Structure 1
Amino acid sequence: MGNNDLGDFLRARRAGLTPDEIGLPVEFGAGRRVAGLRRGEVAQLAGVSTEYYTRLEQGRARQPSEQVLHALCDALRFDDIERRHLFALAGTTAGHKDRAEHSSRLRPALRQVLESMDLASAFVSDRNLTVVGGNTLWALLFPDVAELPRRERSMARWTLLDPRARLVWCDWERVARDYVHGLRLAAAAQPRNQRIANLIGELMMRSPEFPAWWSEHRVQERSTGLKRLHHPVTGDLELQYEIFTSAADPGQSLVVYCAPSGSPSQERLRLLASWGSEPATATTRDTAAES
Structure 2
Amino acid sequence: MDTVLGEFLRSRRARLTPAAAGLTDYGDRRRVPGLRREELAQLAGVSVGYYTRLEQGLNHNASESVLDALAAALRLDADERAHLHTLARPRPKAGRRRGPEHLQPHLRSLVSTVNLPALILGRHTHVLAWNPLAHTLLADHLDFHAPEDPATRPNWARLFFLDPRVREVFGDWADKAEDTVADLRQIAGRDRGDPGLARLVGELTRCSPEFAALWSGHPVRGCASHTREYRHPRVGSLVLADDLLTLPDTDGQRLVLFHAEPGSASAAALALLSGTARHAGEVLAI
Q: TM-score, structure 2 length as denominator?
A: 0.89
- Given residue 245 of structure 1, which amino acid in structure 2 is its aligned partner? T
Alpha carbons of structure 1 residues 98 and 84: separation in structure 2 relative to 1, 3 Å: farther
Which residue matches 2:85? 87
- Given residue 20 of structure 1, which amino acid in structure 2 is its aligned partner? A
SS in structure 2 of the partner of residue 53 of structure 1: helix
Could you tell me how far 1:164 is from its partner in structure 2?
Answer: 1.8
- Given residue 101 of structure 1, which amino acid in structure 2 is its aligned partner? R
Q: Which of residues 43, 53, 56 in structure 2 aligns to 1:55? A: 53
Contact 1:145 1:155 in 2 (8 A): no
Which residue matches 1:107? 104
Could you tell me how far 1:263 is from its partner in structure 2?
Answer: 0.8
Which residue matches 2:12? 13
Alpha carbons of structure 1 residues 212 and 276: separation in structure 2 relative to 1, 3 Å: closer
Which residue matches 2:250? 249
Sequence identity (%): 40
Could you tell me how far 1:106 is from its partner in structure 2?
Answer: 2.2
**1:166-205 correspondence runs (5 A):** 166-205=167-206
**1:264-279 correspondence runs (5 A):** 264-276=265-277, 278-279=279-280
Q: State how far apart, in whole Å, the 2-side matches of 1:248 and 1:65 are.
A: 30
Which residue matches 2:285? 286
**1:31-42 correspondence runs (5 A):** 31-42=29-40
Q: State how far apart, in whole Å, the 2-side matches of 1:100 and 1:181 are.
A: 26
Contact 2:118 2:258 in 1 (8 A): yes
Which residue matches 2:222? 221
Contact 1:125 1:254 in 2 (8 A): yes
Could you tell me how far 1:30 is from its partner in structure 2?
Answer: 4.3
Residues 218-262 of structure 1: per-residue CA shift (max 9 Å, x gap): 111110011211111111111001111122435210010110111
Q: Which of residues 114, 126, 129 in structure 2 aligns to 1:130? A: 126
Alpha carbons of structure 1 residues 74 and 144: separation in structure 2 relative to 1, 3 Å: farther
Q: CA RMSD in A?
A: 2.4
Contact 2:44 2:73 in 1 (8 A): yes
- Given residue 241 of structure 1, which amino acid in structure 2 is its aligned partner? D
Q: State how far apart, in whole Å, the 2-side matches of 1:83 and 1:144 are.
A: 40
- Given residue 225 of structure 2, which amino acid in structure 1 is its aligned partner? T
Alpha carbons of structure 1 residues 146 and 67: separation in structure 2 relative to 1, 3 Å: farther
Aligned pair count reads: 281
Contact 1:106 1:285 in 2 (8 A): no
Q: State how far apart, in whole Å, the 1-side matches of 2:96 and 2:226 are.
A: 28
SS in structure 2 of the partner of residue 209 of structure 1: helix
Residues 52-98 of structure 1: per-residue CA shift (max 9 Å, x gap): 21222233334423332222112112122112211222225737x87
SS in structure 1 of the partner of residue 26 of structure 2: helix
Contact 1:46 1:71 in 2 (8 A): yes
- Given residue 109 of structure 1, which amino acid in structure 2 is its aligned partner? H
Contact 1:103 1:126 in 2 (8 A): no
Uncovered stretches (5+) of structure 2, i.e. residues with no partner: none
Contact 1:88 1:189 in 2 (8 A): yes
Q: State how far apart, in whole Å, the 1-side matches of 2:79 and 2:92 are.
A: 18
Q: State how far apart, in whole Å, the 2-side matches of 1:186 and 1:98 are.
A: 17
Q: State how far apart, in whole Å, the 1-side matches of 2:91 and 2:49 are.
A: 26
Contact 1:73 1:83 in 2 (8 A): yes
Q: State how far apart, in whole Å, the 2-side matches of 1:40 and 1:3 are.
A: 22
